[in-house]
A and B are shown apart, each in its own frame.
Chain A
Amino acid sequence: MPGLLEELESQIAGVRATTAKQNIGVIREVGDGVARVEGLSDAMLNEMLDLGHGVTGLALNLEETEVGVIVLGDYTLLEEGDEVRTTGKLLQVPVGMGLLGRVVNTLGEPVDGKGPVKSDLAYPVERMAPGIIRRQGVNQPVQTGIMAIDAMIPIGRGQRELIIGDRSTGKTTICVDTIISQARLNRAAQEKGDKDYRPLYCIYVAIGQKESNIARIMTVLEHEGAMPYTIIIASPASDSATNQYLAPFAGAAISEWFMDHGMDALIIYDDLSKHAVAYRQVSLILKRPSGREAYPGDIFYLHSRLLERAARVTEKYGNGSVTALPIIETQAGDVSAYIPTNVISITDGQIYLETDLFYQGMRPAISVGLSVSRVGSAAQLKAMKQVAGQLKGDLAQFRELAAFAQFGSELDAKTQAQIDRGKRIMEIFKQPQYSPIPVGTQVAVIWSVQNGYLDNVPVTRVKEFQSRLTEFLSTRKPELLQKITVEKALSAALAAEVKAAVEQFKETWS
């Protein structure tokens, strides 16, 4: 005890009272999630401000005599005349492996009722994208498990691929299937102890979605065992426009932690149309000048700076990557509208979903003609490139000839064969929800079609053939599928094995 008292005395004697300079302002006006503050002469753009009553805000408008602040919290607690202080900090979110399996809000606070998030580090929400020197080319595939995408519109790690279409065309379903596919691959590699496999962690950012939709997606991911590899950032429709505006940036910060630590992440922004609307609301309340369709002048920069944060970095910087799948909802199929054209020009390709195809039963309703991946086969397994290389051309020809055939005129044998082949290819690309197909199976099935083994199967029975072939290969020839996945290319010997397997199956088919 005497030692403790002496220590306390020396601590008190050593204390030097210092006075720090603070910069303050006074709230002049508050409403609709925005406060206008007079003073704050030293406030910086995007600086966090302490608005009192436990509420913080971000300085977004720096004007001559006042600062426009967006409120992160309950703005109804604020009153005219309240003091506001600068904090000298940027908005940050917790990052790290502790977020996997969790559902958090825009500020990284848990909303799933599973207790606090374990995280030692925080990343700023707004951050510069990796520079040119830090980047390397995209050449590792993201296996979405959706045959139409993996075969014809391949996505690579570090790419930005836009998913665009009208409401209820299956945009979110494609993303959920991708997450499930990644989870299965991650788990299989983990169980095998495969040190060479790089797991892909998924981040799903829900912007302006119905809470029931977010809950349903979470349930599906839990049921499929994908949640341990997934983070959900929820900013539902009931959230303020400020939180909806910041949510994608928070997600990007979380994904960048994986990239900075040599890991791969996939981030889904669902959807950026609602994000643009939230930003428009915030900008209009801040009285920023409005442009086309009442969007602010920097609406392009909003999305470009977000999507540029998805990249693949060089070995020197960890060889990590962030792959982005932004979603845009069009109205009446109009891809030439303002926000869709903006985002199309930013991304490295788009997957276009058509309502007509959807209602014709073609699901996923991917329009092969309008969809493109600018990374292309550089991000495709060689085996897939070998079997699927001609698919796009075959389907393009099929579409032209199919329109011609509608007139009922007599067709020559070659044309008829092309049409028949095209119908069968379209059939095999139909895929139910939440059923991603492993790449080995995809290669085998596409090989079968391209080599004519389905030519004598009626179109109405093609799905049945595919299903039974898949079952045959996975139960009787699992080592063949494994070989395709490991060797990544179809050598002559491997192609012969595939041929033998398919012929063996066909003997049992009736």
Chain B
Amino acid sequence: MPATASHVRRAAKRLFRWCVVNDRLQEERARAVMQEILKSKRRGFITLLSEFKRLLTIEVAKHTARIDSAVLLEIDQQTRIKDGLERAYGEGIDSQFSQNPDLIGGIRIQISSDVYDGTVRARLVALGASFGIRSA
């Protein structure tokens, strides 16, 4: 069977689905799949690996929260945010905190496609957009 792009995509999707049990990604299974593909070196294995990686990235992003703040947050602030995220999105959310002075003030939380942007920079951009000024 020729390894066409659509075949490879379908194969990657099947392998990915095997790695997800009860809506959670099983790391051991994902590792096993990766090892097996590398070992087999079947036709189109690089494309298969790339597609598998893309699906894994999307799945990991669903359970990863990126929290950017203008100043470093205190431990209790971080804990409150983590608890809030777990209440909204379920347990097992991997929270990554980082500092970004360009935000000026406030916090930006992104988890998968959802963004909660309470930063001063975002408000200034929105204000500018209302006057027809586009940010760079």
Contacts and interface: CB of A to CB of B under 8 A. Distances in A.
B115 interface: yes
Contacts of A24: 110, 113-115
Nearest to A43: B113
B113 A40 contact: yes
Contacts of B115: 21-24
B58 A21 contact: no
Nearest to B110: A24
A431 to B, nearest CB: 52
Contacts of A23: 113-115
B124 to A, nearest CB: 13
A11 interface: no
A42 B115 CA distance: 12
B131 interface: no
Given A54-B134, A65-B58, A39 B116 contact: no
Contacts of A22: 114-117
B55 interface: yes
B118 interface: yes
A177 interface: no
Interface residues of A, number: 15
Contacts of B123: 17
Interface in B83-136: 110, 112-118, 123, 134
Given A65-B55, A65-B58, A39 B117 contact: no
A39 B59 CA distance: 11
Contacts of B58: 38, 65
A42 B116 CA distance: 14
B51 to A, nearest CB: 10
Interface string A3-21: 0000000000000010101
Contacts of A41: 112-114
Contacts of B116: 19, 21-22
B111 to A, nearest CB: 10
A53 B55 CA distance: 28
Contacts of A39: 112-113
A154 interface: no
B5 to A, nearest CB: 10
B123 to A, nearest CB: 8
A33 interface: no
Contacts of A38: 58
B121 to A, nearest CB: 13
Contact of B113 (A19, A25, A54): A25
Contacts of B54: 65
A22 B110 CA distance: 9
Contacts of B110: 24
A40 B112 CA distance: 9
A299 B117 CA distance: 41
A15 B54 CA distance: 43
A467 B49 CA distance: 80
Residue of B112, B115, B117 with most chain A CB atoms under a 10 A cut-off? B115
B58 to A, nearest CB: 5
B117 A19 contact: yes
Residue of A17, A25, A53 with most chain B CB atoms under a 10 A cut-off? A17
Nearest to A41: B113
A42 to B, nearest CB: 7
B118 A19 contact: yes
A174 to B, nearest CB: 44
Interface string B44-68: 0000000000110010000000000
Interface in A46-61: 53-54
A39 B123 CA distance: 23
A281 to B, nearest CB: 21
Given A53-B134, A54-B134, A21 B55 contact: no
Nearest to A26: B113
Nearest to A65: B58
A379 B117 CA distance: 60
Contacts of A53: 134
A266 to B, nearest CB: 37
A41 to B, nearest CB: 4
A401 to B, nearest CB: 62
Contacts of B118: 17, 19
A455 B54 CA distance: 82
15 contacts: A17-B123, A19-B118, A21-B114, A21-B115, A22-B115, A22-B116, A22-B117, A23-B114, A38-B58, A41-B113, A41-B114, A42-B114, A54-B134, A65-B54, A65-B58
Given A22-B117, A24-B113, A65-B55, 7 more contacts: A21-B114, A23-B113, A23-B115, A24-B110, A42-B113, A65-B54, A65-B58
| 3 tightest A-B CB contacts, nearest first | A19-B118, A39-B113, A41-B113
